[in-house]
Structure 1
Amino acid sequence: MTPSACLQATLDLMSEVDSVARPADAVVSAWFRARRTIGDKERGQILELLYALLRHQARLGWWLVKHGREDMPRNRLLAWLTLKEGKTSDQVKALFNGAKFAPAVLVDHEHALLVKLQGCTIDHPGMPEEVRLECPPWAADPLRRRFKEAFGNEMAALLTSAPLDLRVNPIKSTRETMLGALKDIGVRARPSAMAPYGIRVDERLSLAGLPMLKSGEVEIQDEGSQLVAILVDARPGDRVVDFCAGAGGKTLAIAAQMNNKGHVVACDVMEGRLKRGAERFRRAGLHNIETRLLASETDRWIKRHKGGFDRVLVDAPCSGTGTWRRNPDARWRAREEQGLDNLVALQARILASAARLLKPGGRLVYATCSMLSEENEEQVAAFLGAHPAFRVVPLHEAAPRLTNSSHPDYLSLTPARNDTDGFFAAVMQREASPAPSAG
């Protein structure tokens, strides 16, 4: 593909991301599946530009509004080429040449925009801090309360590219073997800093070129997510529920911890996610997992299995603020009906309902990929206040080797501090029922 063709392909893809309600990664996957003739090199170029535009969306929009232009994909791309790549108007005009597969020729008002932006950079002293840091208005105050003077540093970290982490499946291989296999195919990788089965890949690469991914020897999983699964501390023979399993990333890690022994139930309210999870379970060689489609967080199945499990993981739906560097479009997709208050209320209902599944002495892990206190520490405090049978298991007791948390009792990770996604996890134990009195 020519440079002009790559620009047009990026424009087409960005227009589709803008026009649908689905997350960008899902749109991207479907878009490339329908265009299998695009090579790996060009695919990488298109993706790199798309995600750069998403990471700079607020700033590009600010410049367009400043000059009276509509915030739309083509204008964003013109602004990007000038403000970030430093191209002259003549260089941009050469790319927007109207040839086959190239963007249409510039019109007068587009050329005028390029002239106005010439010599400027993407940041401007007149930008509000939230715009410069690409922080949506609904999240600015909660994140400032959480991070205080570190707010700017944490937001800046969310504007970087997320690393590629793999989790070795101990049922099929070892970390040492997989590191050697990656080296043999020319991939630079190293052991993760905290996760015992984790591998960090130190380069961008096509995942289609990883044979160990197809064989189920490794899975793609952020190091922070791997640590959440470790906190479940599932043992061979246990009965475990992954209450909001999604496509099963943490379910896989938990079942592997159990050495394929015992019973894991992966629950979710979305059938498509569970089906994708089931395919991953088979590929990983895990046979101790059952999938369970729930009608809601209060499904009758929960009442029928009350007190029947040793471990319950609640990886609750959340604002996803901790994943913004991986999913830069997510910060702009918050809808009114999915506001923070509604999410917090849903999390409370899910946590209270899932807790009923736990037997006395069992462990309940509440986790989010959020960095907002309202969804994390405050949610746990509210639960404990309403459920006196539960107590917090401090992190030093639950996982003594995890020493890099920013909270003394809970797992609390951020991209700036830990170079993982932002994660929170609290471990709680249901106290054993008191023995009946002798009298």
Structure 2
Amino acid sequence: MRLHRNLVFAVIDALNMIFNENEYADKVIEKVLRYDKRWGARDRGFIAETTYDIVRWKRLYAEIAEVHEPYSREHLFRLFAVWCVLRGIRIPDWKQLEGTPERRIKGRFDELSKIRKIKESVPDWMDELGEKSLGNELWTKEIAALNKQAEVILRTNTLKIKKEQLQIALAQHEIEAEPIKGYPDALKLKERKNVFTTESFKDGLFEVQDASSQLVAPFLEVKPGQRVVDACAGAGGKTLHLASQMENKGQLIALDIYESKLKKLKIRARRNGVHNVETRVIDSTKVIKKLHNSADRLLLDAPCSGLGVIRRNPDSKWKLEPEFIERIMGVQQDILQNYSKMVKIGGQMVYATCSILPQENTEQVQKFLGSESGQDFTLVKEQNIYVSEHGFDGFYMALLKKQ
């Protein structure tokens, strides 16, 4: 691979914003890719993937390069040099990369790879928490799997097209996709492509949604004609899936505390041809009280640590703090206690997170079932989805029925 100076400099700029200015990686990539309109798909791919790679392995590379935050521009070039050496890329004859100690880098890598928290590039506290929560063997497998780049998975919008037809439509855009066994609406791209510019996307024939995430809506067992509430809807990935499962029939109420997210959901719903969705902002307790004992089905896709999805958000490893996990567990229990009141007798709810920690998952459900608010509910089934076992994002789902 021949390195181009302007692309490498763009990577260095991106790393500076992510590491030193604490900006979110996805927003930084969007910003940096606007530097030069002449960059083609390969150039953009290099910038995005190299940046994410160095963010993913920040701790390991920093230990090898012997640099510490805040990183100077010289330090960022040293991180980049480590990335080159470990990938067998020839170091160019640039003054910023002069004197790169290639043999020392390889030696340090071999030495540091014996220590899991450095090899897998996670903070000390996260490594300790993972081992304590999941046990040494599962955590070791899980963190290794969480460091692999996530594949691009699409969910067929069955309101508009069948999966086999979508596959053919994508092939016309020179995008090869294949079905995944056990995931009825999913197609996996054979290689990464920007699917958002295709006519198929603009026509609402699919959404980008990880395969594990696609299991949540079916877990709720919705039927056409029901009143279904998605109480933590966000920008609506699972809301849209619920709408297609309901065949656009019945009432689907999407709630969230952020109006800006619900506005995005409305745009996506129009593109998807979804017309049974109504959005409501949770701006007071009245919004929930008005829906007490009225929902046939309730989805609680609760806010969480996001530890199951760090493959696609590697910068979250460095932004997440143990105090946040403690705080979010309080929010999760609060949501279970209060929002569950929307379920009517005989109705069902799913509590889901994109975390792999039992304290955010099965332990929260057990705590709820042992409380006054949970006494009328029984646990029908639950599922832990681990990246190391399934190959897709880490998730948890519990189906509860109100007697």
Same fold flag (TM > 0.5): yes
Secondary structure in 2 matching 1:120: helix
Percent of aligned pairs with the same amino acid: 32
CA displacement at 1:143 relative to structure 2: 1.8
1:13-412 equivalence runs, <5 A = 13-33=14-34, 35-65=36-66, 71-72=71-72, 74-82=74-82, 83-86=85-88, 91-92=91-92, 94=93, 96=94, 105-106=95-96, 111=98, 114=101, 117-120=104-107, 122-125=109-112, 128-144=115-131, 145-295=133-283, 299-335=285-321, 338=324, 340-386=325-371, 387-394=374-381, 410-412=382-384
Amino acid at match of 2:379: V
CA displacement at 1:70 relative to structure 2: 6.1
> Taking structure 1 as reference, are residues 384 and 169 closer, same or farther at Cα in structure 2, changes over 3 Å only?
same
Q: Distance in 1 between matches of 2:111 and 2:80?
A: 14
Amino acid at match of 2:12: L
TM-score by length of 1: 0.84
> Which of the numbers 394, 398, 401 marks the counterpart of 1:422?
394
Q: Distance in 2 between matches of 1:85 and 1:9?
A: 19
Secondary structure in 2 matching 1:393: strand
Q: Which structure has the bigger radius of gyration? A: 1
CA displacement at 1:138 relative to structure 2: 2.8
CA RMSD between the two structures: 2.3
Secondary structure in 2 matching 1:196: strand
Q: Distance in 2 between matches of 1:12 and 1:231?
A: 43
Amino acid at match of 1:421: D
> Taking structure 1 as reference, are residues 283 and 34 closer, same or farther at Cα in structure 2, changes over 3 Å only?
farther
Residues 52-97 of structure 1: CA deviation (Å, up to 9, x unaligned): 10111110122233x6796456524423424413456xx34x2x3x
CA displacement at 1:124 relative to structure 2: 2.4
Q: Which runs of 5+ in 2 are unaligned?
A: none
CA contact (8 A) 1:79 1:117 kept: no
TM-score by length of 2: 0.91
CA displacement at 1:294 relative to structure 2: 1.2
Q: Distance in 2 between matches of 1:68 and 1:187?
A: 42
> Taking structure 1 as reference, are residues 166 and 136 closer, same or farther at Cα in structure 2, changes over 3 Å only?
same
CA contact (8 A) 2:230 2:255 kept: yes
CA contact (8 A) 2:230 2:252 kept: yes
